[in-house]
Amino acid sequence: MRIIIIGAGPGGYETALLAAQRGLDVTLVERDKAGGTCLNAGCIPTKSLCRSAEILENVRNAAGCGISVPQYGFDFKSVMERKDAVVSTLEAGVMTLLGHPRIDYVKGRASFKDSHTVSVQSADGRVSEYTGDIIIIATGSVPASPDIPGADLPGVVFSSGLLESDVVPERLCIIGAGVIGLEFASIFSSFGSKVTIVEYCREILPRFDQDIAKRLRQSLSKRGIDFRMGAQVSRIASSGGHQSGALSVVFSRKGIEEQVEADTVLMAVGRRPALHTLNLDDIGVGYTLKGISVNAFMQTSVPHIYAIGDITGGVMLAHAAVMQGVKALDHIMGLEDRTDLSVMPAAVFTMPEAASVGLTEEECKAAGIDVTCRKAFFRANGKAMCMGETDGMCKLLTDSAGRIVGCHIYGPHSSDLIHEIAAFMTMKASVDDIRRMVHVHPSLNEIFRAL
């Protein structure tokens, strides 16, 4: 059996490796760089910058731990060079893995010739054709581009543009208070930018529990990030402000027009599936503007064609794409389906971090699920006190039988802590099971025993 996988992001290349390890022949097609958006312009480079920002904040606050740092420097060029080195090292590692003898790695832009044949156009214009028994579409997503006058002005960038910047903007305006916008806000606030976030919704992180979102916004506000919520952006214009190249973001709130002056404007209003280069209509694969339609096994309307990751328009996370690939491959090979995609943790790498798994309180109310909300605070946790990071809370939702249906955290190492609850949820465990589990003392994980 030969499988063609279109797209070498986390979902595509990890599925290719797993298929090859299981003895299948794979043709993996990628038009850009192996690793996709996550490795090259998303998860990895931003987390490298997060680490630099974290160290910078630790140095600034070292006096609170009795350590005097009278002089220190911040070299943005070195920060960005480190980011590039991290990305290059990981990309080289991916390419080494893709040297597996059962994987044929092809560079070029793919489109369907028919439901079993993919045409690939290389950079020099040559076209080659590849035929497979099974095809998996994993072409990911692209930044959403809102129809805002002035969005094409110099200084208005998407996340990839900000990741390639050679200066820290004095004033950074971010349109969008989702995960991407908040992470860049947290990073560049630490780097010295005056950050303003302009968001259409009434609260940040619309997919997160709103109790946690509100508290995280308040925490980030204390760090100097200015939030303009419930704001409808009408235009971006060149400004005659105090410095050349300045921009003005104009928006309205409650019928009153306001504006923010900025040197750089980051468009962070989300992402959309990369649908329009594949000729899906010609082969009968069903899709909507939200993405390719799939069933529980990631099958499209054409049974031998599957789709995974952002292209399906569901949970746009790298780890979701990877596990969707496992589910698809198990189905292709007739193996038992043991992957529970309903337990899908997510994290925001701000300072402090936030993380979530399962249902929010709002979703439970909308579905008529009777839940109990249990809360615990990091200010009562010994390890958090020792770390000097007591700003945070954990919120656990349990049903009438005590089973965990959701967990939402903001505070130190939330992205790590959430996995304990994800494991309990996968095992259909209850809050009593958490309380009976022995936890190291002192540890941040003890916050779960306080629920």
Task: Tally Cβ neighbours within 10 Å of residue 120.
Answer: 21
Do 282 and 112 touch, CB atoms closer than 8 A? yes
Identity of the residue numbered 5: I
Using CA of residue 358, residue 362, residue 364, residue 370, what is the dihedral sign? positive
Do 419 and 395 touch, CB atoms closer than 8 A? no
User: Is-catalytic flag, 331?
Assistant: no
| Calpha distance 67→54 (Å, rounded) | 16
Do 65 and 388 touch, CB atoms closer than 8 A? yes
| Calpha distance 307→291 (Å, rounded) | 10
How distant, in Å, are the alpha carbons of 41, 55, 72, 317, 422 from that of 62? 32, 10, 12, 34, 34
Do 13 and 3 touch, CB atoms closer than 8 A? no
Copy the structure tokens of residue 359: 């249902």
Copy the structure tokens of residue 40: 């090259």
Longest dimension (CA), the chain: 68
> What sections of 192-243 are H helices per DSSP?
210-222
| Calpha distance 53→190 (Å, rounded) | 6
Name which of 141, 445, 154, 431 is nearest 315 in CA terms.
141
Residue 122, strand partner residues:
none
Copy the structure tokens of residue 349: 């790498």
Identity of the residue numbered 377: F
Q: Which of 242, 276, 439, 441 is catalytic?
A: 441
End-to-end Cα separation, the chain, in angstroms = 50
Name, in order, each residue with C-beta under 8 angstroms of 299's C-beta and a sequence gap of 6 or more.
Answer: 305, 306, 328, 331
> Could you give the residue numbers annotated as active site?
441
